[in-house]
Amino acid sequence: DAGITQSPRHKVTETGTPVTLRCHQTENHRYMYWYRQDPGHGLRLIHYSYGVKDTDKGEVSDGYSVSRSKTEDFLLTLESATSSQTSVYFCAISDQERALLNTQYFGPGTRLTVL
């Protein structure tokens, strides 16, 4: 299994509070992704990174920000959590310039509940 960890694995928070989720990899892969998974929607891309300090928005980026100061860490921040951000969040990594030619490896997920 690819060396990807996510922390925390579970979190319950209140509306309006900031939340940061962490993805850590030990594979030295260039690309990292944050997805959210909701019933009936599959996985939707929030943000992704193609290198240190290089990030871009995905399909559902509103209300989220990311940072990548080191190759191994990719942080997802909810500046002011809302109930609509209750979801399971997955981090993924992939390698190579033509990253689509390579598999995206997924972390175990973080279940976030916003009350």
Partner 1 sequence: AQSVTQPDIHITVSEGASLELRCNYSYGATPYLFWYVQSPGQGLQLLLKYFSGDTLVQGIKGFEAEFKRSQSSFNLRKPSVHWSDAAEYFCAVGAEEYGNKLVFGAGTILRVKS
Interacting residue ranges for partner 1, rule: CB under 8 A: 31, 33, 35, 40-45, 48, 50, 56, 58-59, 90, 92, 94, 98-101, 103-109
Chain centroid, CA 8 distance in Å: 12
* 8 preceded by a cis bond (ω within 30 of 0): yes
Q: How far is the CB of 14 from partner 1 (least distance, A)?
A: 25
Q: How far is the CB of 9 from partner 1 (least distance, A)?
A: 10
Cα–Cα distance between 108 and 10 in angstroms, integer?
Answer: 11
Cα–Cα distance between 90 and 106 in angstroms, integer?
Answer: 7
Cα–Cα distance between 51 and 41 in angstroms, integer?
Answer: 28
Cα–Cα distance between 111 and 12 in angstroms, integer?
Answer: 8
Q: How far is the CB of 91 from partner 1 (least distance, A)?
A: 9
Q: Which is nearer to partner 1, 29 or 114 (CB)?
A: 29
Q: Which is nearer to partner 1, 42 or 62 (CB)?
A: 42
Q: Which is nearer to partner 1, 1 or 62 (CB)?
A: 1
